[in-house]
Structure 1
């Protein structure tokens, strides 16, 4: 009987160790994926943004507008995106994984197509990768605003 309990305990420990080791493979703790942007009211879903990675650099493109009041063309943009359609527009550029903080992606910028302004950007996956903390700022992160986006896929 003690041998059976010992074998069972070994099996439980082995299964638990395997599950613990495999968990990072299933976690979505990167900003890569499709995200629902939530308005500052915390309720209204405004857009779907797809964040992708190429050679260690992350970018984000507006895939779909969900807010019927949203501008469809970036009239107020002042760079190469001026007067271009918002759907298909790259609004996140130049983000890289922070080497000092493994849970942070930063170093790039985000465009607000509503006002044409660009801001420095920090991204931090949360809740096991189900949410993305997005902080746009001017100068230091202290001077900005945050939103929480929700993974759509």
Structure 2
């Protein structure tokens, strides 16, 4: 009886969906921003859930003021979804999505790659060689 129960539990857990290792919370190299990566509709998204300095010196929240769309200028930077539409290509690589940079209010092509417990993020135009790369650390 115990053996049958053990085999049943083993069988059921082997079919349980495995959590993608890119999911979770990540901190940028400067330590002043954190992003949470989630998935929906088989794509991956990243939201700035924490900023070391979410407010301006006068105490008002930092907003997306550089955005050319007046309606979007009222968005808070903290809480902003900056990564969208990434596709899991396998082997810890995520491509075909975009990263939004609030300082320039521009979307760039985005590529993420898991390297151990680090997340390499590349924002670029055309090719990853023409862009910027950062190494994010998992928040524990």
TM-score normalised over the length of structure 1? 0.69
Matched, 1:85 2:76: yes
Matched, 1:48 2:34: yes
Matched, 1:149 2:133: no
Q: Aligned in 2, Cα 1:30/1:78: closer, same or farther, shift over 3 Å?
A: farther
* Structure 1 unmatched ranges of 5 or more: 1-24, 39-43
1:9 counterpart residue number: none
1:58 counterpart residue number: 44
Q: Which moved more, 1:70-79 or 1:110-119?
A: 70-79
Partner residue of 2:95 out of 102, 106, 109: 106
Matched, 1:35 2:22: no
Structure number with bigger Rg = 1
- Secondary structure of the 2:135 match is strand
Q: Aligned in 2, Cα 1:59/1:81: closer, same or farther, shift over 3 Å?
A: farther
Q: CA–CA distance in 2 between the matches of 1:68 and 1:81?
A: 17
Q: Aligned in 2, Cα 1:78/1:102: closer, same or farther, shift over 3 Å?
A: farther
Q: CA–CA distance in 2 between the matches of 1:69 and 1:143?
A: 32
Maintained 8 Å contact 1:45/1:67: no
Q: Which moved more, 1:80-89 or 1:136-145?
A: 80-89
- List per-residue Cα deviations over 1:71-94 (Å, max 9, x = no partner): 811111235633310111111110
Q: Aligned in 2, Cα 1:110/1:81: closer, same or farther, shift over 3 Å?
A: farther
Maintained 8 Å contact 2:54/2:62: no
Shift of 1:103: 2.4
Shift of 1:138: 0.5
Maintained 8 Å contact 1:81/1:89: no
Q: CA–CA distance in 2 between the matches of 1:81 and 1:151?
A: 29
Between structures 1 and 2, the one with greater helix share: 1
Aligned residues: 120
Maintained 8 Å contact 2:54/2:78: no
* Structure 2 unmatched ranges of 5 or more: 1-16
